[in-house]
Chain A
Amino acid sequence: MTLIATESLTKTYGGGVTALADLTVAVEPGIIGLVGANGAGKSTLIKILLGLLAPTSGRVRVLGLDPTTDAAQVRTRVGYMPEHDALPPDLSAAELVTHLGRISGLPRTVARERASEALRHVGLYEERYRPVGGYSTGMKQRVKLAQALVHDPDLLLLDEPTNGLDPAGRDAMLALVHRIGTEFGISVLVCSHLLGEVERICDTLVAIDGGRLLRADHISAMTSATDVLAVEVSEGTDELAARLAALDLPVRRDGRLLLVELVDDATYDLILGAVAELDLPLHRLDQRRHRVAELFATREPSHA
């Protein structure tokens, strides 16, 4: 079953601002990363998927339903975590999530049980009885995730879930999202303007820019055969680059780094041999996953 499908989806706001332009994309269940710069149309797309905004033209289907006509049915099966602050400070997390569970149609006792469960799954235990106003940003993000999870949706729409978190908090949130997508069996659409984050956890990547689709594909298809080795030497970077080029290795400069495409294990030996021959102080040599960012950046001449 196709999870989300859009066809020539266009949204133009009253002032003539085009948020989405002729967007056609179809994704399968799993963890989907939706990336784009601020203002690329990510939030607009989410609101259309929820049936909160009507598209100007084009068609859209979520879980096989049309959110423009069956909004209530779609929203029963979808959980939404908004980007901005969305928690009343004087309610406790337990009360808020229980209440929102009931608004999703859960019976009273079920709502209470599932609220505790959802809060436990996101890692909130005793503190769930304290008012949300005293929570840290990380805890608030977790509460927002829990309320999206309380009614057991089939699809989660997460708008910038790592917003405002420190690096450790980001890692924890991404791990949590990954767990929801894999262990819980719930499909997740993660919005982010940070490609490096979502590419770590998602299986499908959809990139939009200015409301247009840049690319949508399985992450494996995007990153296969694009692993690179990053080489850094304290001095003589140019000489090394020349030597490696002479060895028929495709080399690119990235600041102080030399990026060498990793063909097989022999590449390591060739590089190490070249460094040793030139007697250069090797600072580091490590394999990095070719960042998907570079796929989208290829249009820019500096990377050509």
Chain B
Amino acid sequence: MPEPTGVIHDIGYQRYTGPRLGRRAVFGALYLHGLRTAFGLGRSAKAKIFPWLVVAIVSVVAAGITAVRSQVGETVMTYAQFADNMSWLVIFFVAVVAPELVSRDLRSGVLPLYFSRPLPRSDYPLAKLLALATALWLLLGGPQLLMFLGAAFTLGDGMRGVWNELLDLLPGLLYAGLWAVVFASVGLLVASLTGKRAFAAGGVVAVFLMTTPVVGTLSIMPSRTVNELAFLASPSTLVQGVGDWALGDLLPEGQGGILIGDFGPVYAVAAVLLVAGCVALLMLRYRKVAAR
């Protein structure tokens, strides 16, 4: 008689004696979870709508630019200009995703479950920050890559053309990285202050958009120095100022462009200080939250 197969035994509780991974692996798990959350992966269908709508818009714009360039031969936007022009979409993306990453955890009270585990308390906000920055960079860099592929293989200049195009793309990707880091650190800090997602989203939009009138006011003051430093007042124009200084002709000024005079290095330092300040405040914030 054959042995009965497929019998389910209740083997009771099993102790675990296998490996326990270190800080790096835990950080990686939290980072990947954050990145997936940013695009609504592993979440409800409702959570996917907005991120993928934004992804669709930037992709369509990139495809349009590529099509115009390969058919008409006219460059509508450089890679860096593309990042600039998409910045308002990035703001909305941050306003939706940053609360999703941190406010939700604050509200549901899940943080004690994280901080009672062998996770250094600074790793939680850092992993979330890195995840948001990566998501923003992919959002801007992905379409740039699409534009590059389209341009490199339709212009027909051979390897030379591909190489030149690549030299244009790389600064564009770096510039996208700057957008990503600045917007992620400011957005995450604002979102980490409240557990209410609507408030957090409003706060993020307010910080990015309400500072624009300040720039406008300062830039019509009767002083050239004040005018040229005016763009420090808003994160978006600050990034554009750094781009203008560092990228030069890759970011040609359109009408209403950023005229920063010789203050380029000031903008670069200001951007670094802004990011550093936001990260420091984020750490302080979570030092307090973890002890609750």
Contact = CB atoms under 8 A, between A and B. Distances in A.
B33 to A, nearest CB: 6
Interface in A105-161: 105-108, 110, 114, 117, 121, 131, 147, 151-152
Nearest to A85: B109
Contacts of A76: 20, 117-118
A72 B118 contact: yes
Interface in B24-38: 25-26, 29-30, 33
A73 interface: yes
14 contacts: A47-B291, A75-B117, A82-B113, A86-B108, A87-B108, A90-B47, A95-B42, A102-B26, A103-B114, A103-B119, A104-B117, A105-B118, A151-B20, A185-B15
Contact of B117 (A91, A95, A103, A107): A103
A175 interface: no
Contact of B110 (A88, A104, A131): A88
A104 B118 contact: yes
Contacts of B14: 117
Nearest to A72: B118
Interface string B69-113: 000000000000000000000000000000000001100111011
Chain B CB within 10 Å, residue with most, of A85, A108, A152: A152
Given A84-B109, A102-B26, A107-B19, A73 B44 contact: no
Interface string A160-203: 00000000000000000000100111000000000000000000
Contact of B109 (A50, A82, A106): A82
B18 interface: yes
Contact of A50 (B21, B25, B104, B116): B116
B268 interface: no
B50 interface: no
A141 B235 CA distance: 44
Contact of B20 (A47, A100, A106): A106
Nearest to B112: A82
B91 to A, nearest CB: 24
B20 A90 contact: no
B163 to A, nearest CB: 40
B109 A104 contact: no
A110 B14 CA distance: 12
B290 interface: yes
Given A99-B33, A103-B30, A105-B118, 7 more contacts: A52-B116, A80-B112, A105-B25, A106-B16, A131-B44, A151-B20, A180-B13
Contacts of B118: 71-73, 75-76, 104-105
B115 interface: yes
A86 B47 contact: no
Contacts of B16: 106, 110, 114, 151-152
Contact of B115 (A52, A88, A117): A52
Nearest to A118: B13
Given A72-B120, A90-B43, A99-B33, A105 B113 contact: no
Size class of the A contact interface (CB-based, 8 Å): 35 or more
B194 to A, nearest CB: 16
Given A80-B116, A82-B113, A99 B29 contact: yes
Contact of B26 (A78, A105, A185): A105
A53 interface: yes
B243 to A, nearest CB: 37
A236 interface: no
A281 interface: no
Question: Lowest 6 A-B CB distances belong to which pairs?
Answer: A80-B116, A152-B16, A105-B20, A102-B29, A72-B118, A88-B108
Interface string A39-62: 000000001001011000000000
A78 B116 contact: yes
A52 B119 contact: no
Contact of A105 (B22, B104, B108): B22
A53 B290 CA distance: 9
